[in-house]
Amino acid sequence: MDLLKTMEVSASGMNAQGQRMRVISENLANKDSVGRTAEEDPYRRKTLSFKNVLDREQGITKVAVGKISEDRGEFDLKYNPSHPAANEDGYIKVPNVNSLVEIMDMKETQRSYQANLGVIDASKKMIMRTLDILRS
């Protein structure tokens, strides 16, 4: 039944968005994590990509997490000469995590998750309605 395949595809999307939410949460949790010395880099923002995965047995294409990688963007500098990780000019490297970007990504992730959940709910209702019709 195609509705069951639709539910399977949406479930894979929900799983991928759940993993994306975990990466975003990790970024936000570490946005203030700096190195212990001037030579040590602070936390580097992580990004996630998706990929299509063909399920040959069911004949459907699902979504999955492709790769979690580090954002190679530059670190910001913050003046704090008393910090142990300060360089000779008194600056420390701070993570390349922008809270606003992470919150916007979180909102997008939440909406995608809800959309997939809506598809599953609609498919379930259609299956139940079909069963009701067949019983009559």
Residue 16 burial (C-beta neighbours within 10 Å; 0-12, 13-18, 19+): buried
Question: Strand runs (DSSP E) across the chain, as ranges?
Answer: 46-55, 60-70, 76-79, 91-94
pLDDT of residue 3: 87
Record the pTM.
Answer: 0.87
- The percentage of residues in the chain with a pLDDT greater than 70, rounded to a whole number, is 99
Give pLDDT, residue 1: 54
Q: Which domain holds residue 20?
A: 2-135
Q: Kindly state the tokens that stand for 117.
A: 């959940």
Cα–Cα distance list, 39 to 36, 42, 44, 93 (Å): 8, 10, 14, 9
User: 113: helix, coil or strand?
Assistant: helix
Tally of domains in the chain: 1
| Average pLDDT value for the chain | 95
